[in-house]
């Protein structure tokens, strides 16, 4: 078998945007059958873990190298003098004679946060009476952030309409009560996207807005009449005749 010649050109480092890790102090030695690579993996946090992949110029960096041992693959911890052993004898054809450039690809592992589903639960409304044209705030808890929540209006036990269908990330919705909404007693029912989880608000009343009416009341003017007694034709005032006093009978 011909002797392999290895030339390590500058190693490219690929990272995910937003992570502060880097590779430094890369060295490589060839012992005739294996290439032993050491490197420092500097993390953003000591608890970070990484996926470390090596590719070679042999296939124009198309596929990851398979015959690797040590600090390569998944869940690689940061540290100094991390060590990878590449079994190049089994990776490349026996008649290969040329230079090799290796490329590192480093990806930080983002921990998977599993959100626990809790029951959908409507919070009590801040009041029980709303006027047409006003705004009602509907709040709730539970469900998954990825769910959608359907907001339905009921009157008694009868479905009236679907007000809206919103994402469950904010867990709140402001409903502008239409000005032509019929008055009466209602409640809001919340359900998830599969209608498997349902919760309702308390009953509330929608009533008309109090109109601003200006009533003009008629003003009744009562005039005092003056009654003039006249006598003769002079138009003067005269006192009314008084009856004669009653005296003793004359003889």
> Domain ranges in the chain?
13-108, 121-207
What pLDDT, on a 0 to 100 scale, did the predictor assign at position 154?
97
pLDDT in tens, 193-207: 777 789 999 999 999
Q: Comparing 236 with 66, which gets the higher pLDDT? A: 66
User: Using CA atoms, how far apart are residues 53 and 62, in angstroms rounded to an integer?
Assistant: 12
Q: Comparing 162 with 9, which gets the higher pLDDT? A: 162
What pLDDT, on a 0 to 100 scale, did the predictor assign at position 165?
95
Looking at the predicted structure, is the pLDDT value of residue 240 above 70? no
CA geometry: angle at 176 spanning 170 and 182, to 5°? Answer: 135
Looking at the predicted structure, is the pLDDT value of residue 66 above 90? yes
What pLDDT, on a 0 to 100 scale, did the predictor assign at position 118?
86
Q: Given CA atoms 151, 152, 154, 157 in this order, what sign does their dihedral have?
A: negative
pLDDT in tens, 120-146: 999 999 999 999 999 999 999 998 888
What pLDDT, on a 0 to 100 scale, did the predictor assign at position 49?
87
Pairing mode of beta strands 184-192, 148-155: antiparallel
Q: Comparing 217 with 130, which gets the higher pLDDT? A: 130
3-state helix, strand, coil in the chain (%, to 5): 5, 40, 55
pLDDT in tens, 153-190: 999 989 999 999 999 988 999 999 999 999 999 999 99
Q: What is the enclosing helix (H) or strand (E) of 88?
A: helix 88-91
Pick the CATH number of 13-108 from 2.60.40, 2.60.120, 2.60.98, 3.40.190: 2.60.40
Q: Comparing 2 with 51, which gets the higher pLDDT? A: 51
* Secondary structure of residue 136 in the 3-state scheme: strand
Q: Model confidence at 63, in pLDDT bands (50, 70, 90)?
A: very high
User: Using CA atoms, how far apart are residues 208 and 56, in angstroms rounded to an integer?
Assistant: 76
Average pLDDT of the residues of the chain: 79
What pLDDT, on a 0 to 100 scale, did the predictor assign at position 241?
56
What pLDDT, on a 0 to 100 scale, did the predictor assign at position 112?
66
Residue whose tokens read 């490589």: 28
- What pTM, to 2 d.p., does this model score? 0.45
Q: DSSP string covering 58-87, please?
A: GGTS-SB-SSEEES-EEEEPPEEEEEEEE-
User: Using CA atoms, how far apart are residues 23 and 105, in angstroms rounded to an integer?
Assistant: 10
Q: Does domain 121-207 have CATH number 2.60.40.10?
A: no
Average pLDDT for 75-96: 89
Looking at the predicted structure, is the pLDDT value of residue 15 above 90? no
């Amino acid at each position: 078998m011909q002797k392999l010649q290895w030339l390590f050109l500058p190693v490219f480092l690929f990272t995910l945007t937003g992570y502060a890790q880097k590779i430094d102090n890369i060295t490589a030695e060839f012992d005739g059958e294996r290439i032993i690579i050491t490197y420092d993996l500097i993390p953003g946090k000591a608890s970070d873990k990484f996926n470390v992949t090596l590719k070679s110029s042999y296939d124009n960096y198309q596929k990851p190298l398979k015959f690797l041992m040590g600090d390569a693959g998944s869940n690689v911890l940061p540290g100094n003098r991390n060590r990878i052993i590449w079994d190049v004898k089994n990776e490349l054809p026996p008649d290969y004679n040329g230079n090799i450039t290796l490329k590192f690809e480093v990806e930080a592992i983002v921990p998977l946060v599993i959100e626990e589903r809790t029951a959908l639960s409507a919070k009590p409304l801040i009041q029980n009476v709303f006027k047409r044209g006003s705004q009602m705030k509907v709040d709730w808890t539970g469900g998954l952030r990825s769910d959608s929540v359907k907001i339905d209006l009921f009157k008694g036990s009868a479905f009236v309409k679907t007000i809206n269908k919103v994402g469950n990330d904010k867990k709140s919705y402001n409903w502008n009560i239409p000005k032509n909404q019929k008055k009466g007693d209602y409640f809001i029912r919340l359900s998830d996207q599969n209608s498997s989880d349902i919760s309702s608000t308390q009953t509330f009343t929608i009533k008309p807005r109090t109109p601003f009416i200006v009533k003009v009341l008629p003003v009744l003017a009562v005039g005092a009449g003056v009654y003039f007694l006249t006598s003769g034709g002079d138009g003067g005032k005269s006192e009314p005749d008084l009856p004669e006093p009653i005296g003793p009978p004359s003889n």
